[in-house]
């Protein structure tokens, strides 16, 4: 996204989330304008593609993956709506609305699951809690939390999270959407320790509107995604991921770009927690960014 478009987009987003789409399909050039066919290198040797064939990018090298994430390659490290970029933008015009945001992370079988909740209230306070072994139920009770932490976000971080929610997530009165699952795949076992357990990430949010009296009436919604997929998107790698995993993730986010929006918001919350949270937290999140 062009940096010059960001203020315009944020002004438009003040009335509704834009469902930010990152990937665009390039139309193949017309036959008469087609350049010579691209040369690609295969195990069998160089191959020339037909003129006008959409370009095929070379696979990323191991060096290009070290210390970077899928989001870094799919969206770009300097995308204006990434948390670190928007937080460092001194020219940002912050939307005036307040925002409530919650990440609920559930891992395990029903009745024996662990539940983490990170909640930002409209004033920028972050409350994090953990419930274990089914003690939470559908609506976790604060009095039953096994561990709990609370801290106040830095003002720049609060403004960045607020702007991201308004710009990235669709604001409707009733939105609740479950995003697609990844098919079975192999991944390094040390990348995320919960790959063999069912996991969900629920992003719930509400955006203040001038004609609504209380946060319970603010438009917003809940987006539910497969937890390991979001972990794959935001976690950094020490070497190149398996090639079939790269192809699968690229295909999935091309078809469902809202997954990238959810991952960007989740990354922002985790980064704020890792950078500004308590020095000795009682709660340790089951998701990491690794920057």
pLDDT tens per residue, range 259-291? 999 999 999 999 999 889 998 999 999 988 865
Q: What is the pLDDT of residues 225-271, one digit of tens each?
A: 988 889 889 988 888 888 888 888 888 888 888 999 999 999 999 99
User: Do the strands 125-131 and 220-226 form a parallel or antiparallel pair, or are they unpaired?
Assistant: unpaired
Query: 7-16, 138-147, 192-201, 207-216: which range is least confident on average?
Result: 7-16
Nearest in space to 169 (alpha carbons), one of 16, 5, 12, 24: 16
Biggest CA pair distance of the chain: 70
The rounded distance, in Å, linking the Cα atoms of 276 and 39 is: 48
The rounded distance, in Å, linking the Cα atoms of 221 and 252 is: 22
pLDDT score, position 152? 94
Nearest in space to 288 (alpha carbons), one of 194, 223, 225, 196: 194
| Residue in the block written with tokens 């990235």 | 168
Tokens for 290, please give them: 């690794």
> Has residue 8 got a pLDDT over 90?
no
Coil/strand/helix, residue 43: coil
Contact status, residue 262 vs residue 178, Cβ threshold 8 Å: no
> Has residue 135 got a pLDDT over 80?
no
Percent of the residues in the chain that have a pLDDT greater than 90, as a whole number: 33
Contact status, residue 75 vs residue 182, Cβ threshold 8 Å: no
Mean pLDDT estimate for the chain: 78
pLDDT score, position 61? 74
The rounded distance, in Å, linking the Cα atoms of 60 and 184 is: 23
Nearest in space to 235 (alpha carbons), one of 279, 183, 175, 187: 187
Tokens for 207, please give them: 């955006």
pLDDT score, position 90? 81
pLDDT score, position 139? 60
In this structure, the number of other CB atoms found within 10 A of the CB of residue 215 comes to: 15
Report DSSP letters for 181-221, one per residue.
PPPS----TTT-TTTTS-EEEEEEEEE--TT-SSGGGS-EE
Phi, psi of 241 (to 5 degrees): -65, 165
Q: What is the pLDDT of residues 183-222, one digit of tens each?
A: 767 666 666 667 667 789 999 999 988 777 777 788 889 9
CA 183 from chain center: how many Å?
Answer: 19
pLDDT score, position 138? 55
In this structure, the number of other CB atoms found within 10 A of the CB of residue 225 comes to: 25
The DSSP secondary-structure symbol of 90 reads: T
The rounded distance, in Å, linking the Cα atoms of 109 and 218 is: 32
pLDDT score, position 7? 39
pLDDT score, position 41? 55
Contact status, residue 211 vs residue 165, Cβ threshold 8 Å: no
> Has residue 3 got a pLDDT over 50?
no
> Has residue 18 got a pLDDT over 50?
no
Mean pLDDT, residues 126-134: 85
> Has residue 124 got a pLDDT over 70?
yes
pLDDT score, position 290? 67
pLDDT score, position 13? 41
> Has residue 19 got a pLDDT over 80?
no
Q: Does residue 30 or residue 220 have the better pLDDT?
A: 220
Confidence of residue 177 (pLDDT cuts 50, 70, 90): confident
Query: 63-77, 79-93, 110-124, 130-144: which range is least confident on average?
Result: 130-144
pLDDT score, position 16? 40
């Amino acid at each position: 996204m062009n940096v010059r478009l960001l203020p315009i987009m944020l002004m438009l987003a003040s009335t509704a989330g834009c469902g930010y789409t990152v990937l665009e399909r390039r139309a193949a050039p017309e036959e008469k304008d087609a350049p010579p066919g691209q040369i690609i290198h295969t195990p069998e040797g160089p191959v020339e593609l037909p003129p006008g064939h959409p370009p095929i990018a070379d696979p990323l090298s191991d060096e290009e993956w070290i210390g970077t994430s899928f989001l870094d390659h799919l969206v770009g490290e300097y995308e204006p709506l990434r948390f670190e970029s928007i937080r460092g933008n001194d020219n940002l015009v912050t939307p005036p609305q307040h925002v409530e945001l919650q990440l609920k992370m559930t891992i395990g079988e029903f009745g024996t699951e662990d539940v983490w909740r990170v909640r930002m209230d409209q004033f920028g306070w972050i409350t994090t809690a953990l419930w274990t072994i089914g003690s939470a139920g559908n609506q976790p009770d604060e009095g039953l939390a096994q561990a709990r932490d609370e801290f106040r976000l830095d003002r720049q971080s609060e403004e960045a999270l607020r702007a991201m929610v308004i710009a990235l997530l669709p604001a409707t009165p009733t939105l609740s959407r479950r995003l697609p699952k990844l098919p079975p795949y192999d991944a390094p076992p040390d990348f995320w320790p919960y790959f063999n357990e069912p996991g969900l990430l629920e992003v719930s949010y509400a955006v203040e509107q001038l004609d609504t009296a209380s946060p319970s009436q603010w438009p917003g919604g809940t987006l539910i995604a497969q937890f390991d997929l979001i972990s794959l998107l935001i976690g950094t790698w020490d070497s190149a991921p398996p090639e079939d995993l790269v192809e699968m993730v690229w295909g999935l986010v091309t078809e469902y770009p809202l997954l990238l929006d959810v991952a960007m918001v989740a990354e922002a919350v985790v980064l704020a927690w890792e950078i500004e949270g308590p020095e000795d937290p009682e709660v340790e999140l089951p998701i990491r960014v690794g920057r």
